[in-house]
Amino acid sequence: MLILITGGSASGKSSFGERLFCELPAENRVYIATMKPYGAEELEKIEKHRKMREGKEITAVEQYTDIDRLKLPGRSSVMLECVCNLTANEMFDDDGAEHEMTGRIIEEILNVSHAAENMIVITNDVGSDVESGYSDPTKRYISAVGKINAVLAHEADIVIEMVCGIPLLLKGDRIW
């Protein structure tokens, strides 16, 4: 089963995603973190998410690109956090060089989803914004995330939008 969770920043996506992640039956739970620890703010966020997972028997792996290279144990539930970071990591090198990776990103996420028993994917609504103020690479990034979200939502069994900590069901059955 593929579950896509979208919503704005600080809307409660991670905590609700982790709740489902822990409730779904699985022999192994693998959490894929994609945020590169560039500085204090990222480290703070990584630490916050790590604390949320504490005591929950979750294996956390850091994989910034090519998440389908991970070897998953059998009957795994996977939680990917998040599409926006993965897309930025795949699209832009550390020196800022840009690559067209939309198809590849969709492929790697779906590969993991097919290999896993259940997969929860966290994404963000980066497109609800005034686009004109951004550089062309950022505009292409916004459009890439939008397309990836749309394809994942199409493939997903359940799509949820978080609003102020409240899950709204956009597609599929309510399982909580």
Contact call for residue 155 and other proteins (CB under 8 A): no
Q: Does 128 bind other proteins (CB under 8 A)?
A: yes
135 binds other proteins (CB under 8 A): no
Q: How far is the CB of 9 from other proteins (least distance, A)?
A: 4
Nearer to other proteins, 49 or 117 (CB): 49
How many CA atoms are closer than 13 Å to the CA of 31, on its beta-carbon side? Answer: 22
Backbone angles phi, psi at 145, to 5 degrees: -60, -40
Question: Which residue, among 122, 105, 124, has the nearest Cα to 156 in the 3D structure?
Answer: 122
Does 41 sit near other proteins (CB under 8 A)? yes
Q: Report whether 121 contacts 4 (CB < 8 A).
A: yes
Selected from 43, 61, 150, 166, the binder of other proteins by CB under 8 A is 166
Please report, as ranges, the residues that interact with other proteins according to CB under 8 A: 7-12, 41, 84, 124-130, 134, 138, 141-142, 163-166, 168
